[in-house]
Structures are given as structure tokens and as C-alpha cells.
Amino acid sequence: MVGKKGKRLVICLGVLVGLLVVTGSALFAAEKPPIKVGLLLSYTGIAPLQAKGSSDGAEFAFDEVGRKAGGRAIQVIKEDSELNPTVALTKVRRLVEEQKVNFIVGPVSSAEALAIYDYVLKSNVIWIIPCAFTRELTSPEKANEKMFRTTETSDQGNYPMGKWIMKNTNWRNVVVTGQDYKAGHDSVDAFKAGFTEAGGKILKEVFPKMGTMDFAPFLSTIDVKGADAVMAWTTGTDGIRFVQQYEEFGLKKRLPLFGGQVALVDDPYLSQMGDAALGIISQSHYPPTMDTPRNRAFAKAYTSKYGEMPSRYSEYGYTAAKMIVGGIEAMKGNVEDVSRLAKEIKRVSSSGKIETPAGTLAVDQYNQRIIDVYIVKVEKKDGKLVNSVIDKVGKVSQADTWKWWNKQ
């Protein structure tokens, strides 16, 4: 125990520290107020996993630089958009008008993103989209210099996957299935485009509604005569049930199942799926088990901080935060000039100097990220199911895909 004198000394020291903190921060605040970053993510709703990953990833990146950039503090403000477009619009207004944020990071779903699109672009903020992946947002008509996206578009992965399947497997006649909502249809369409352009044939399309509990009725319709394999873009809880029931009904042995994107067998869901997921091939821009020194260090630090492996959603959030930090640094903290800030973010993002867990960052002329496409396969390693890299397709930008990018 400390003596009386010791106690007094401790109190004196405490007061001193307190004074320093108060005056210090007051001085700091008087000179340069903190830069505010609003995280508009659906922490609740049916996709909390995506929100948590992006949120943790972004905070992880801000913590790496001590929540400070360009001589100013970075303050993170979180708002829950509940995966609901109306709520997202209300919350983004609050972030912009009450909190006066400089950056918006979010949202998770494309529906939310399209709902807040007009409002955010009218406001004086930089918008970085971590998860919503509808191709429209960065299309030539909708792209905007103040808007960036760190996830792939619905086409950048699914489209090359169609070509890869034609080239590397002997599956020629494929049945496609997806959830009956925007992301499901967009993804299936992209896969179909890639696959049929390469000469493959789609035998049937099946779209169960989102939140289908029992896939048994759909499975017998998927089982088409003459089919070589089944492509599924079914994610979340639906994906777990789909993969499990696909095996239960004995289809997996006869009719291989694969994903147009890793969304079918996202790493956080694998432990729930169990061995039914073994051997499923899909495609990802960031397999968390990627064996590069940069990613090994990231995954280790992230895991020890949050108690779980990073997911691709963490990578999207992390990259968004890195772009923000890069932009602030380039502007030396003067982020108030938004159109110059946007140009600087674009410049640093394409400079090849920002390293992300998935590799060196690059964006195209529409501020859409250019990704590396890896082909992954679910394998068991040390008793744990993981997506292991089996092939690399290489860099894919949205202009390498179809729709309005198609040169044919």
C-alpha cells in the first residue's frame, strides 16, 4: 500500500495529468476539430455479419494510425441503418446534418445504397461504399467523383467465374439458382453472361424467395436431366440451409454444386454448414486465409483484437478506412474542400501505395475498385473448414465484364 505522502503525491500527479488533458485537448480542439467519419451500417437486421465485419475492419484501420491523420483526430460515429432503405435515409441525414460528418462509410445493401444515393451526392461529403455491390452504382450514368466503392461489383467476380468454369471444368450444361432479390438476380445474370459467352448452356433458372426455410421443394426442380452442375448464389442463413439440404437429398454426389461467388460459402458460415460444404468451388477477391506476409500479419492482429478471423467484409471496411486516411494525409488535414479531397483520394487509391490485406489497392476511372479474383475451394485444415485458394484469375475491373462495358 502507498503511505500518506505517497497518496498525496498520487493525487497531485492525477490533478496534473487531468489539467494537461483538459488544456491539451482544449487547445487541440480550438485549432483543429476532429474529422468525423460516419459508419452507416446495418448493425441489426438480417445481415449483421456484414455490418460488424465492415465496422470492425474500419475501426481496425483507424486504430492502426492512432485515430489521427493529417494532424487531426478522427472521430467515428456509428449509425444503424437496420438494412432498411427508409431508415438508412433518415440516419444518413442525421449524420450529415446533425453530426456534420466529412465521410460516410456504408451501407450494406444495394437497396439502401440506391435509396440514399441522391441525398448523399447532394451533400458535401465523401461516400465510400463497403458492401453494396449492385453494378448500377458505379456504372457510367451513376458514377460520381465523390463516391468510391471498396467491394467488387456484382459482375467482377460472378462474370469471370462463368468463364473460368468453362475453361477449367467439363461442366457445360448448368442449372443456376439464386435468391429472389436484387443481389441474387444481378449475380446470377453476371454468371450467366460469362458462362454463355464462353459457350456454356444454362438449362434452368430457379429463384426461391429470400428467407426460404425449406429448400426441399426447390431441390427436385433443380435436379434437371442432362445437367452437369449447379451454380448457386444463395447467401446468409439461406445459404447454410441450401448447402446442407443439397447434400441431405443426395444431390451433391451426382450433381456438383458451386458458387458464382464465395457468398454461397462465406467463411463465417462454414462452421455452421459443416461437411456439407466440403469441396464447393467458388470465387473471392479476398480469401481470409490468403498466404501473403501482409495478410498473415493483418489476420493475426485482427483475430487477437476481435476474437474472430477477418472476413471479406472486414477487408472492405478496412480498405475504406485506409482510403480515408490516405485522403486526409494528402490534404494535410484540410478536408473541407470536398472536390479536391475526392481527387486526392482517387489519386492515392490508384497510386499503388495503399496496401490492403487483399493486395495493393487500385480503382478505375469510375472510382470502382479493381479486384484480384481468386478461385477458392472449401477444404478442411486442422479440423476447420476454410476456403483455400486453388487458382488465380488475376485483376478484374468492372470494364472487363459485360452489360454497358461489353464491347461486342
Partner 1 sequence: MAFVLTQTINGVVFGMLLFLLAAGLTLMLGTMRIVNLAHGSFYLLGGYVGYSVAQYTHNFFLACLAGLLSIGILGLITYKAVLEKGFAKETLAQVLLTFGMLLIIGDVCRWVWGGNPLAIPKPEMLQGTIYLGSIVVPVYRLAVIVIGAVILLFLWWFQEKTKYGAIVRAGVDDAEMAQGIGINISLVKALVFSMGALLAGLAGVVGGPFVGLSVGLDIEILLLAIVVVIIGGMGSLRGALVGALLIGLIDSFGKSLLPELSIFTLFAAMVVVLAIRPSGLFGTK
Where does this chain bind partner 1 (CB under 8 A)? 44-49, 52, 180, 206-209, 211-214, 216-218, 220-221, 236-237, 240-241, 244-245, 248-250, 268-269, 272-274
Q: Shortest distance, CB of residue 236 to partner 1, whole angstroms?
A: 6
**CB nearer to partner 1: pick between 67 and 204:** 204
Maximal CA-CA distance, the chain: 89
**CB nearer to partner 1: pick between 255 and 363:** 255
**CB nearer to partner 1: pick between 49 and 386:** 49
Q: Shortest distance, CB of residue 99 to partner 1, whole angstroms?
A: 25
Closest by alpha carbon to 53, among 361, 286, 379, 242?
Answer: 286
Q: Shortest distance, CB of residue 246 to partner 1, whole angstroms?
A: 11
**CB nearer to partner 1: pick between 84 and 368:** 84
Q: Are 202 and 192 in contact (CB under 8 A)?
A: yes
Closest by alpha carbon to 209, among 174, 255, 177?
Answer: 177
Q: Shortest distance, CB of residue 214 to partner 1, whole angstroms?
A: 5
**CB nearer to partner 1: pick between 64 and 248:** 248
**CB nearer to partner 1: pick between 81 and 153:** 81
Q: Are 179 and 239 in contact (CB under 8 A)?
A: no
Q: Shortest distance, CB of residue 251 to partner 1, whole angstroms?
A: 8
**CB nearer to partner 1: pick between 80 and 372:** 80
**CB nearer to partner 1: pick between 36 and 52:** 52
Q: Shortest distance, CB of residue 389 to partner 1, whole angstroms?
A: 24
Q: Shortest distance, CB of residue 70 to partner 1, whole angstroms?
A: 35
Q: Shortest distance, CB of residue 142 to partner 1, whole angstroms?
A: 28
Say how far apart CA 403 and CA 34 lie, in whole Å.
42
